[in-house]
Amino acid sequence: MSAGGSGGGAKGGYPPQTIMAIGAIGGLAGIYLGHFMPPAFSFFGGLGAICAIVWGADAVRRVASYGLGTGVPSIGMISLGMGIVAALFGLSVGGIAGPIVSFIAAAIIGAVIGVLANKVIGMGIPIMEQAMVEIAGAGTLAIIGLSVVIAGSFNYGDVVQYVVANGYIALIFIIGGMGILHPFNANLGPDEKQDRTLSVAVEKAAIALIIAGFASSLHEGLMSAGLNIAVGLAIWAFGFMKYYGFIKRDAHAVVGTGLLPSAEELQ
Amino acid sequence: MCSVGAAIATVLISEFTLSPLFALVFGAIIAACVHATFAVTSTMGRCASQKRFKQPIYLDMIRSHTPVIMGYSFITTFCILVVSYLMTVVLGHPFPLTMLAFIWGITVGAIGSSTGDVHYGAEREFQQFEFGSGLNASNSGNIVRYAESGLRNGYDNSWFCAKFGGPVTGIAFGMTVFLGSWITTVFDPARGLAQGWYSVIAGVIIVLILIIWNWKIEVKARSDFGPYKEDKSEEASA
Amino acid sequence: MIDALTANILSMVYIIIGGVLISWSVHFVPVGGAPAAMAQATGIGTGTVQLAAGAGLTGLVSAGFMMNVTDNLPLILASGAVGAMIMIAVTMIVGTWVYVYGVGCVPSSAKVKVDPITKYRQDLYVSQGTEGHGLPTVSFVSGVIGGCLGGIGGALVYYALIEVGLAAGLTAGGSSTVTGHELVGIAAMFAIGIFFVNAVIPSYNIGGTIEGFHDPKWKKWPKAVISSFVATILCAVVAVIAISQLGGI
């Protein structure tokens, strides 16, 4: 799976700082809104998770365009691996500051792994340290955000009881990880565009919100679950239409059926 | 994806007290729908990202393949859910259903991508090579564009995977689940420490048998297909 | 927080050893990535992380089952190792079926001239322009060793985390419901998280493909093991604190 680009940084579209700000601030704000509002508004946690997943997808896009040698999925998996450790740690010691503690813990773990990857293993990717910090942070916020959707708050006890004990954490792990790694993996190629990749990130994150919303019916009741699902569906439809628009803009042609282009057309 | 299905099934079983069978089916349906969106976005995304090669995106291909992908996804998810459900409820495995399904999903993904589809690059994309002649790299890129009837493209290369790769993937996954559980079912560690060690010994014997089997296949392939290159050092010495 | 760390120092050592074993095990597993999926490189045709995770997590399932009925550490480790070994051996034997009977090529390696175990010549059987294909005996044995180490590592991490939880006053009984159990859930999830971190680091080290312990790249393992050692210390500290906090609620 070494098809991940051929060196050189990814270009175009929104600068990384903008996306980073959206991801970090939007993610934390969403999580806190989801925590303090009554359970019916827990979808704010999902909105925070969407911001975080978009941020993670952008960071993956920047680092994976250097070519990792192992394919894009590995970095999504390490993101969520670090995220899950940091998220549960932060919630367990941080109390009301839990998400922020988690975020800082994730940044530390990410920085250490990034430095190790460059200095000890010698991958030689210039933005590896920064990207690992970003990816770990985004993974952490995505996990906490989706946990808030299911549990209604980020109290450690609630999260452990309603999210971890019944194994939904595995669901969050895989669907958050797919949200972060799938957009770039799906749009891999020499003509990859940032806005198209990020629109897939929005769409996949909305699916995560729908599924987490469905799971939240166990604890929060049907009304808030329905609201979660409705918000998720609306964002999904928006994201998918946006994505299809970008496809029509970027693709060579979108046709019902037909022959491959002939040799003359390829000149 | 299996985790998605399992989570939904868990919700249905606990919240709505539905029968497990219905819950597992419904969970698998939702997982199949989610799988479909992943398939569609990656197909269109990869095509659009290779604009410079001027390959059009065929909507009829997406329309006709997505339901099939959903169908296979449903079957896979449902079977894994049944395995996980049985392990949790009947065999009394301590992991929750969602997590077991997650683990088996990762495992079946690893097995599937390492056994079932190894043939996708080696099938009809290389024109006309004699069976057993090895894979000459210069055949690569000699892409078949026209089939016996109509167009032929990358989508049709899954034909072999479906006919041979798919079933052997199933056998592999079944063997993993069966052999992994069988040794602890026959030699139940709950009946004492010695029984637990018997199960470990049985597992090691199974692995040794598989190593010898692989070696036999290797020897047979070497004698049947023969060396691909002349032995230059022997010629030089002769 | 600090006393939780000092009280569970043995468990932390277990977790760190487990993480290092996982990292080391990845170097044994013969994976060829996309080239192997086209039968143009030796090894199993999938990604390193996916395969190591598949094997290790299968081992985790076996170990978790064993942990449910006994607390004998060697037995738990052995069952984890056997679970992972069975998974990876089955995957490789079925891969061999496809390579030999489906694709029609001889298992051979381009990295070495003779197989160190069977003493067969390898270079004559490699197709022109490829880096070998299929799984010769040495890769198969190497993969089994890798599965064994990975299974032990995963089981060790899981065992240590459960012990931390037990020390914090939780129970770890099995339950025959679909919703599961708090301590088992959190310990398994931490084990999975630590497993993924330690599976990705070495796969960056080997650049995505390796053939087994005869591969020249195998000699690079100390780098990945040192990296995993540092990363796992962090994860172990964090995980032990998070689980010991469970006792208070």
Boundaries of every domain in chain B: 2-186
User: pLDDT higher for C100 or A6?
Assistant: C100
Q: Do A191 and B52 touch (CB under 8 A)?
A: yes
A151 touches chain B (CB under 8 A): no
Q: Which residues of A touch B3 (CB under 8 A)?
A: 170-171, 173-175
CB atoms within 10 A of CB C169: 10
Q: What is the pLDDT along chain C (249 residues), one digit of tens a residue?
A: 566 666 677 778 888 888 888 888 877 777 766 666 555 666 666 666 677 777 777 777 777 777 766 667 788 888 888 888 888 888 777 777 777 766 666 677 666 666 667 666 666 666 666 666 667 777 788 888 888 888 888 888 888 887 777 766 555 544 444 445 667 777 777 888 888 888 777 777 776 667 667 667 777 777 777 877 888 887 777 777 777 766 555
Distance from CA of B76 to the nearest CA of A (A): 17
Question: What pLDDT, in 10s, does the model give residues A145-204?
Answer: 888 777 777 777 777 777 777 777 777 777 777 777 777 777 776 666 777 777 778 887
Residue written as tokens 């976005």?
Answer: B41
Q: Facing residues of A93 across strands?
A: none
* Residues contacting residue B170 through CB under 8 Å, at least 6 positions apart: none
Question: What pLDDT, in 10s, does the model give residues B205-238?
Answer: 888 888 888 777 777 777 766 665 544 444 444 3
Q: Which residues of C touch A74 (CB under 8 A)?
A: 47-49, 200, 203-204
C239 touches chain B (CB under 8 A): no
Q: Do B189 and C70 touch (CB under 8 A)?
A: yes
Where would I find the H helices in C134-181? 137-167
Mean pLDDT for chain C overall: 73
Cβ atoms B221, C39 nearer than 8 A: no
Rounded to whole angstroms, the Cα distance separating B130 from B56 reads 33
- Tally: H helices and E strands in chain B: 8, 1
Residue A193 in tokens:
């565009």
Q: Do B131 and C104 touch (CB under 8 A)?
A: yes
Mean pLDDT for chain A overall: 72
Using CB atoms, pick whichever of C203, C230, C241 lies closest to residue A93: C241
CB atoms within 10 A of CB C176: 11
Rounded to whole angstroms, the Cα distance separating A261 from A36 reads 57
**Of the candidates A99, A132, A130, A97, the residue with the CA atom closest to the CA atom of residue A24:** A99
- Domains of chain A, by residue range, sit at 16-250
Q: Do B8 and A178 touch (CB under 8 A)?
A: no
Question: 3-state DSSP call for residue C183?
Answer: helix
Residue C18 in tokens:
């487990």
pLDDT tier, B128 (very low <50, low <70, confident <90, very high otherwise)? very low
Q: Which residues of C touch B88 (CB under 8 A)?
A: 176-178, 180
* 3-class SS shares of chain C: helix, strand, coil, % to 5: 70, 5, 25
Rounded to whole angstroms, the Cα distance separating C217 from C220 reads 6
Question: What pLDDT, in 10s, does the model give residues A91-117?
Answer: 777 667 777 778 888 888 888 877 777
Question: What pLDDT, in 10s, does the model give residues A49-70?
Answer: 788 888 888 777 777 766 665 5
Return the pLDDT at C35. Answer: 60
Global ipTM: 0.74
Q: Is B162 left (phi over 0), alpha (psi -120 to 50) or beta?
A: alpha
Residue A210 in tokens:
């729908």
Task: Give the angle subtended at the CA of A84 by the CAs of A80 and A90, to the nearest 5°.
Answer: 135
Q: Do A166 and C179 touch (CB under 8 A)?
A: yes
Rounded to whole angstroms, the Cα distance separating A22 from A54 reads 9
Half-sphere exposure in the Cβ direction for A156 (13 Å, CA): 25
Rounded to whole angstroms, the Cα distance separating A238 from A182 reads 18
How confident is the model over B73-89, as a mean pLDDT?
Answer: 77
Q: Do A171 and B7 touch (CB under 8 A)?
A: yes
Distance from CA of C130 to the nearest CA of B (A): 6
DSSP state of A155: -
Rounded to whole angstroms, the Cα distance separating C242 from B93 reads 24
Question: 3-state DSSP call for residue C109?
Answer: strand
CB atoms within 10 A of CB A189: 18
Residue written as tokens 């099934």?
Answer: B9
Rounded to whole angstroms, the Cα distance separating B107 from C60 reads 12
Rounded to whole angstroms, the Cα distance separating A130 from A62 reads 10
Question: 3-state DSSP call for residue C132?
Answer: strand
* Residues contacting residue A218 through CB under 8 Å, at least 6 positions apart: A150, A162, A166, B10, B11, B14, B15
Where would I find the H helices in C27-72? 33-37, 48-69
Rounded to whole angstroms, the Cα distance separating C192 from C205 reads 20
